[in-house]
Amino acid sequence: MIIRKYRMKSSVICSALLFGLLLTGCGSGGDGQGASSSSLNIPEGFPNPRIPDDNPISTAKITLGRHLFYEKNLSGNSTQSCGSCHQQSRAFASPETFAIGSTGERHPRNTNTLVNAAFNSTLTWANPNLLTIERQIFVPLFSLSPIELGATGKEEEILSKLRNSQEYSEMFNAAFPDQEDPVSFNSVVFAIASFVRTLNSGNSPYDRFVAGDATQLSASAKRGLDLFSSERLECHHCHGGFNFTHSTTHSNDQTITKSFHNTGLYNIRGTGDYPPDNTGVYEFSQDRNDMGKFRAPSLRNVEVSGPYMHDGSMKTLEEVIDFYSRGGRNVRSGPFRGDGKTNPFKSGFVSGFSLSETERTDLVNFLKSLTDQEFLTNPAFSDPN
C-alpha cells in the first residue's frame, strides 16, 4: 500500500484516511491480463479492475464497443442505444425519473450511472447475482419485462445490419480476428463491456485536492468532507473507498463484497414492505431481511447524475441530505403510505442526524467537488457517429 504525502489540515487528513482515500492499491499499471492503464483510462492511484479471462481488453474492442454503445440498430426497432439512457453529460445516467425502453415502456427504476462500472462488485440496483459487465449487458438487450432495447426475436435482423456495414465488418474483424464469424451478440457484448470498462473518473477537484493541491477544495467543501467522513453522519459506511461505494471490487480483491442497504425509503403500512415492483434484493432471495435492500451507488459525479434513489424520487442533493437527516422518508398518502424511519429492515447506519444550514451547504459543496468535468466531456467517451 502507498500513502501519499499531503499538506492539509490534520482534521481533513484524518477524514480522508478514515474514508480510505489516501490509500491506493498497487498502482495504475497494466492489469496483468494484457491491458494497460492508458487503454482503460485508469486514474492515477486507482487499483486495477478485474478483467474476465475470456474477454481481455484490446484497443480494437474498445473502439468497436464505443460505436456499438451508441448504435441504435441494436434495439429491436432501431430507436435506442445504450447511450440513449446512459448519457455522458449526466455521468452516463439519465435525467428521467424512470428509464424508458425502446417501445416506450416505463421501467420501475432510475437509470444507473456507469461511472467506474469496471470497479462495481455488482452491476444493478438490486441483483446480487450479476457480477460481470458482460452478463449485465445481456439484460437490457434481451429483457422482456420490462423491454429495454428489445432485441429478442430480432437477433438476425440486427446482426444482418451490422454485417452489411463495411465499417462494422472491419471493426469486428479487428476486434475478434480469431473468430470465423466475428459478428455475433457475444462479440457485441464483449466489445461494449470493454468500452464500459474505460469509463473511469478520477480527476475531480476532490481528487486533485487529495493529490496535494489544497486550493482545489473550498473551506466549505473541506468542512463537508469532515462531515461526510464522520461517525455523526456515517455516510462513509456505505459510500466509502476510492469509488465512494462499498460495492467495489478490483483485481487484488480476494473476495467480492456484495453490499446492499435498506435506507428507509418506504415502509408500506408499517410492515417494512416496499412497492411490489421494487423490493430490492428480496426479489431474488425471498428473505424478508432483504426487503428494500438496494446497492449504494458511487457518488462520483453525483452532482449531475440525479434524480436520486433507485426510484428517482429525489431531485436534488439537498433533498437527499434531508432524507438521510430525518432517518427515512414518511410517505403520508397513497398506496405506499408509511414512515420509512421506522422500517424494521432499515440499515443501522441510517439513524438520522441534525445539521445546521451552514453544515448542509458544506456537505453539498463537498459532494459537488466529486464532479469530474474532464470525464463528462472526454471525447473518447462520446458518440463517434
> pLDDT digit string (tens) for 159-175?
999 999 999 999 999 99
* pLDDT tens sequence across 329-369: 999 999 999 999 999 999 999 999 999 999 999 999 999 99
* The pLDDT of residue 37: 53
Average pLDDT over residues 304-313: 97
* The pLDDT of residue 252: 87
What is the percent of the chain where pLDDT is above 70?
90
Count of domains for the chain: 1
What is the CA 25 to chain-centroid distance, rounded? 20
Asked if residue 248 belongs to a domain, the reply is: no
Residue with cell 440513449: 84
Asked if residue 353 belongs to a domain, the reply is: no
pLDDT at 21 over 50: no
* The pLDDT of residue 257: 79
Asked if residue 267 belongs to a domain, the reply is: no
Distances (CA, A) of 178 to 77, 171, 185, 283: 31, 13, 16, 40
* The pLDDT of residue 269: 95
* The pLDDT of residue 383: 97
More confident residue, 12 or 77: 77
pTM above 0.85, yes or no: yes
CA distance 122 to 200: 16
Asked if residue 320 belongs to a domain, the reply is: no
Q: Average pLDDT over the chain, rounded to whole?
A: 91
* The pLDDT of residue 86: 98
* The pLDDT of residue 375: 98
Indicate the SS3 state at residue 248.
strand
CA distance 238 to 235: 6
Distances (CA, A) of 287 to 23, 108, 256, 279, 292: 36, 21, 21, 11, 11
What is the CA 272 to chain-centroid distance, rounded? 26
Asked if residue 100 belongs to a domain, the reply is: yes
Average pLDDT over residues 130-150: 96
* The pLDDT of residue 1: 24
* The pLDDT of residue 28: 31
* The pLDDT of residue 385: 84
Asked if residue 348 belongs to a domain, the reply is: no
Give the CATH number, domain containing residue 163: 1.10.760.10
* The pLDDT of residue 4: 30
Provide the residue range defining the domain that includes 119.
59-199
Q: What confidence category does residue 253 fall into, taking pLDDT thresholds of 50, 70 and 90?
A: confident
* pLDDT tens sequence across 25-76: 333 333 333 445 568 999 999 999 999 999 999 999 999 999 999 999 999 9
Asked if residue 286 belongs to a domain, the reply is: no
Pick the range with the lowest mean pLDDT from 9-23, 33-47, 197-211, 250-264.
9-23
Average pLDDT over residues 114-120: 97
Average pLDDT over residues 144-162: 97
Structure-block grid coordinates of residue 210 = 487529495
* The pLDDT of residue 139: 96
Judge whether 295 and 249 are in contact, CB under 8 Å.
no
* The pLDDT of residue 36: 54
Asked if residue 117 belongs to a domain, the reply is: yes
* The pLDDT of residue 19: 43
Average pLDDT over residues 128-157: 96
